[in-house]
Structure 1
Amino acid sequence: MQEFNSKLSDFGLAKAGPTGDRTHVSTQVMGTQGYAAPEYVATGRLTAKSDVYSFGVVMLELLSGRRAVDKTIAGVDQNLVDWAKPYLGDKRRLFRIMDSKLEGQYPQKGAFMAATLALQCLNREAKARPAMIDVLATLEQIEAPKQAPRISLSEHQRLHAPVRRSPARNRTPSNVTPTASPLPSVRQSPRAR
């Protein structure tokens, strides 16, 4: 991550395979250690839910500030998912996995929502993981405070589109001759308007 711009690679493994609810079975498991879904490692079967698992690992990395696999740490704590999973669903203990560089300066409700989402993505049962569209919806809820009204992308684009004026609107109609005002031009103060 550079200036909080994430740089991801080795994702979208499921895109290379079949579409829809179909799966792909590989004879050689590929991918970066720590990101591959358990069912993919065990069977070579790749689905869209495999990518959801991998995304859960990335979320966990963002929350904790640790890598998916840290070989400098001994034992079970080496694997980020195994180390963090017991804390993800517990509001009182979540701070134990949060990146210490944040020094506690983060919205606790948002952190817990993100941790809960990561936990759902990391479910050992692929069918129990959310669809990526649901992951996106949850991330948008975390990002936008409840007080702010939610608008659709098309509505946002409509509201923020540049105003285009037709040249015809700014012209005087051809059958009307502009006349000078009989009154002298007086600049009104903002209160007089």
Structure 2
Amino acid sequence: MPNDTLSKYLFHWDKKPLPWEMRVRVAYYIAEALDHCNTENRKIYHDLNAYRVLFDEDGDPRLSAFGLMKNSRDGKSYSTNLAYTPPEFLRTGSVIPESVIYSYGTVLFDLLSGKHIPPSHALDLIRGKNVLLLMDSSLEGQYANDDAMKLVELASKCLQSEARDRGDIKFLLTAVAPFQKQKEVASHVLMGLPKNTVEVPTMLSPLGKACARMDLTAVHDILLKTGYKDEEGAENELSFQEWTQQVQDMLNTKKFGDIAFRDKDFKKAIEYYSELVAMMSGPSATVFGRRAFSYLMNGQAELALRDAMEAQVCLPEWPTAFYLQGLALSKLGMETDAQDMLNDGVAFDTKRHNVWRN
């Protein structure tokens, strides 16, 4: 997601504020993404806020997958700011699907006001009929007052203290859909971004083909053959200058992990690679990649996705990291996101081959 988060464009803009049409589009896209999560039986999305909304290369808003990765059963990790936490979480320490509607209301107020206003303060402004004080002054002349009032009323409904009074995701989608009037205007234009002219290639590498057809046996074989060569020359390469006992322990742990991975003892591989990650001074993309695949084979797709993301942090343009994320997302039932990751892997594969060819 190369074009940053919604929070930057709402709260930290340095050129021009986000236009009304784009704010409405964001509201609709979030509702659409939540509806998709609901359809896939992922009804709890944690910490929905302006930092969770990202913009892709075309300027289209996307909902981060991070909100799906927290365990709602612990009842402890819903929000980092009590001023914006759903009332039921404060009362019982747990969240319910309607809690997501409450969080959507806070984001909708963010979009309307251009500020992060605590829900109680926003509701006080509405009750005092000071709606114009709530609206972002930079949007003056860009919207009809009736449209603004309807969206303010929708946000207010989302923030009702009783969960049963908030409506559901389908209600949100239906309520926001009529405001999607500017579909013919490209997102990159609304955000002032240059048009992305790079076409995603359709040719897949052997690893890409294996991931596309979910052939985990082939993926394992390719990861074995590739080894650690993709990290040659990287700062986090597994090479050590001082042969201390600590270094020898690390090399032994790596060796045992690689043997377990080769022998398809993925549970053991996870154990050894986890020890190695804790011992190393710098992370290794290959270790994270191998542990991600091991998690996949162990039926732990969320942990696999986490490690694949860590591998991408180590080597931002490493195709394998994107392919592994695609596999994990597919296992989690997020097929659209999985396809996006596959396409990104193809793009970086092609870029790499073009560099080698030149």
TM-score (norm: length of structure 1): 0.55
Q: Find 1:65's aligned residue among 108, 114, 132.
A: 114
Write the distance in 2 (CA, Å) between the matches of 1:125 and 1:94.
23
Tell me the residue number matched to 2:125. 87
Q: Find 2:177's aligned residue among 140, 153, 157.
A: 140
Q: CA deviation at 1:8?
A: 3.9
Classify 1:116/1:89 alpha carbon distance in 2 versus 1 (closer, same or farther; 3 Å): farther
Q: Find 1:31's aligned residue among 67, 75, 79.
A: 79
Q: CA deviation at 1:42?
A: 2.4
Tell me the residue number matched to 1:103. 140
Q: CA deviation at 1:128?
A: 1.1
- Residue-pair matches, total: 126
Q: CA deviation at 1:16?
A: 4.5
Structure 1 stretches of 5 or more lacking a match? 18-23, 69-79, 146-193
Q: Which has the higher contact order (CA 8 A, sep 6+)?
A: 1
TM-score (norm: length of structure 2): 0.31
Write the distance in 2 (CA, Å) between the matches of 1:16 and 1:113.
34
Write the distance in 2 (CA, Å) between the matches of 1:118 and 1:30.
20
Question: How big is each residue's C-alpha offset from its partner over 1:67-86, in whole Å with a ceiling of 9 and x where there is no partner?
Answer: 14xxxxxxxxxxx2121103
Secondary structure of the residue aligned to 2:167 is coil
Write the distance in 1 (CA, Å) between the matches of 2:151 and 2:86.
19
Paired-residue identity, %: 29
Q: In the TM superposition, what are the counterparts of 1:124-139 in structure 2 within 5 Å?
A: 124-139=161-176
Classify 1:13/1:56 alpha carbon distance in 2 versus 1 (closer, same or farther; 3 Å): farther
Secondary structure of the residue aligned to 2:115 is coil
Bigger helix fraction: 2
Write the distance in 2 (CA, Å) between the matches of 1:35 and 1:63.
16
Q: Find 1:44's aligned residue among 77, 82, 93.
A: 93
Tell me the residue number matched to 1:149. none
What letter matches 1:37 in structure 2? P
Q: CA deviation at 1:96?
A: 1.5
Tell me the residue number matched to 2:155. 118
Write the distance in 2 (CA, Å) between the matches of 1:115 and 1:63.
8
Question: How big is each residue's C-alpha offset from its partner over 1:151-172, in whole Å with a ceiling of 9 and x where there is no partner?
Answer: xxxxxxxxxxxxxxxxxxxxxx
